[in-house]
Amino acid sequence: MAATNTSAPAKDIPVKKKPKVVPKTASERIADKIYWVLRLGIVANVVMLFFPAFNPARISGLINKNLSLFTCGVSYNSIVANFGRALRQQWVQASSFQELRWIALLVVFAVVVAAAGGCMSLGSNKLKKLGCIVSFAGGVIEFFAMLGIRGVYNDVVAQARETGRLKNISPMLPFINKVYLAFAVGIAALSLVVFFLIPRLEKNAKFEMEPRFQLFLMMLPIIAFAFVFSYLPLYGWRYAFFDYKSGETLSMEKFVGFKWFTSLFQNAATRRDMLTVLKNTLAMSGLGILTSWLPMAFAIFLSEIKNLTFRRFVQTFTTIPNFISWVLVYAIAIAIFSTDGFINTMINSLNNGGAAATTNYLQNDDHMWLKMLAWGTWKGVGWSAIIYIAAISGIDQGLYEAATVDGAGRFAKMWYISVPELIPTYCVLLLMSIANILTNGMDQYLVFSNAMNRESIQVLDLYVYNLGIGSGLIPLSTVIGMVKSVISVTLLFAANGVSKAIRGESIV
């Protein structure tokens, strides 16, 4: 008897069909090539907004040469900072510079509009056509705004000639004005060309964009933020090679090469100050690294609170200090520990038999490193614990349930489950702390600093601030900042190499 197959027939597994790829037409391929030129032009146009050398609004020698077009657009006072006498004597009219400010802001708006159109070029044909219209509008607005700057320049020249003060005003029309006009015409023209190169849209065409481009555009504001506040300030490193004083202009006559770099080692007073500052910086950073486990421990114990209302109260109460400025923290410290502070008064009264308080703990430099660690921990432990709380919520709850079945208590589960699961997060944050060992911040030490504790509290960031702002040694403070940045980057890659060698994981 032949064996029969009694098993159920296999069902066909549906296979997801890949979307059909429609080959691009010749006009679309040409449009893609033009798009690269258009995008590069838009990016260059955006970057020029933030560099003083590319400021078309500097129509007079009295306008600070260190102003960018973006600054002129957002700050009228910056434009007329050196026009006090000219405006009082009515050599020129304030209305002209108010108009200049609004035109500069209009240029910034036009560049942003063109950039928005460039972002749309990453989408479907329907979105690309809309982006072309937007970019074209941005180019046209920028073109007429540049003509407006020329009009303001002509008005200022006419006013100065009428009052006979043409030399005092020093009117000028920067060559970069023509460059902006060329960019405006180019953006508008290329947008128009691409618009007609894109094939006619179908009736069911939609505004679509691939997820990878959507994620890129979501990251774009962060990239711009990092560029403006992290990379653009590197342009100020040029001060380290000049004999510069605040308010002066840079010129090759003041170029001194590596003079300020060598002075760090040749000047005995500077060497002594640097050793003291580095000692304070490394000591306070070292204490911070040694106590970096406190937020993790706090997060673990906080997660063990079963009463949800009380847990939220504790988390909120410990997170709020992070949002209090160090100025207010110092005000609290004065209320507590100054000569007439209530705790200070109580301590001194008990020790002196009711005598008046004579000790001001804020002026005393005893145990200053520990004091700063205590204030920093109080202010930041709740905020720093948030990342560990998020990591705890991602731990598999089945591990805790299995441990409970095996008879593990609460502390055993914390030690054998929570801590090991949080170690990777802790290691990443620890490596970042090691990389930033020379960066303690400045606000905390600035508000608590005084003549009595200066030797113990002055860290590297505060020392750079005191040199640059307090003593006016901007080139020397720039050199120290450069050295600190180089050392920090070196430490970051070194710590990353150690992590990769020991744990097999890297953070860079």
Q: What is the CATH number of the domain that holds 324?
A: 1.10.3720.10
One domain for residues 138 and 49: yes
Residues 198 and 122 in one domain: yes
Which pLDDT score, from 0 to 100, does residue 246 have? 75
Q: What pTM did the predictor assign? A: 0.68
Same domain for 69 and 166, yes or no, is yes
155 and 58 assigned to the same domain: yes
Residue 43 lies in a domain: yes
| Boundary residue ending a domain (209, 243, 272) | 209
Residue 150 domain-assigned (yes or no): yes
CA neighbor of 113 nearest in space, from 93, 89, 126, 132: 132
One domain for residues 279 and 197? no
**Phi/psi at 242 (nearest 5 deg)?**
-130, 155
8 Å CB contact between 84 and 98 = no
Which one, of 150, 135, 137, lies nearest residue 181 by Cα?
A: 150
Residue 103 CA neighbour count, 13 Å, CB half: 24
Q: What is the mean pLDDT of each run of 10 residues along the chain (508 residues)?
A: 47 50 73 90 91 90 89 91 88 91 94 92 88 94 94 91 87 91 94 89 83 88 84 84 79 84 81 87 90 92 90 91 90 80 71 58 81 91 92 89 88 90 88 83 87 86 85 84 84 79 68
**Domain membership flag for residue 215:** no
For residues 114 and 39, state if they share a domain. Answer: yes
Give me Rg for the CA atoms of the chain: 32
Pair 267, 362 in one domain: yes
Per-residue pLDDT, 2: 44
Residues 174 and 311 in one domain: no
Residue span of the structural domain in which 324 resides: 252-502
- Domain membership of residue 368 (yes or no) is yes
pLDDT at residue number 58: 92
Give the pLDDT of residue 333. Answer: 85
Distance CA 477, CA 261 (A): 10
CA quadruple 154, 155, 157, 158: dihedral, nearest 10: 110
Please state, in angstroms and rounded to a whole number, the distance separating the CA atoms of residues 283 and 280: 5
Euclidean distance between CA atoms 93 and 76, whole angstroms: 14
Q: Is 247 inside any structural domain?
A: no
CA distance 149 to 153: 6
Residue where a domain terminates, one of 209, 229, 260: 209
Q: Which amino acid type is present at position 45?
A: N
Strand partners, 123: 209
Structural domain total, the chain:
2
Measured between alpha carbons, how far apart are the two ends of the chain, in Å? 69
Greatest Cα pair distance, the chain, in angstroms, is: 122
Q: 145-158 as b/e, with b when 16 or more CB fall inside 10 Å? A: bbebbbebbebbbe
Question: Is the same domain home to 400 and 455?
Answer: yes
pLDDT at 101: 93
Dihedral, CA atoms, 418, 421, 425, 426, nearest 10 degrees? 60
**Which residues are CB-contacts of 382 (< 8 A; sequence separation ≥ 6)?**
298, 315, 317, 318, 319, 320, 321, 322
Same domain assignment for residues 124 and 265: no
Element spanning 284, H or E:
helix 268-290
- Could you identify the residue written with the tokens 């005191």? 466
> Cα angle vertex 489, ends 485, 495, to 5°?
140
Q: Does some domain include residue 119?
A: yes
Residue 4 falls within a domain, yes or no?
A: no
- For residue 14, is it within any domain? no
- What pLDDT sits at residue 144? 95
pLDDT of residue 4: 46
CA 128, 130, 132, 135 torsion: positive or negative? negative
269 with 342, same domain: the answer is yes
Residues near 65 by beta carbon (within 8 Å), at least 6 away in sequence: 52, 58, 249
User: What are residue 242's DSSP bridge partners?
Assistant: 255
Assess whether 265 and 158 both reside in one domain: no
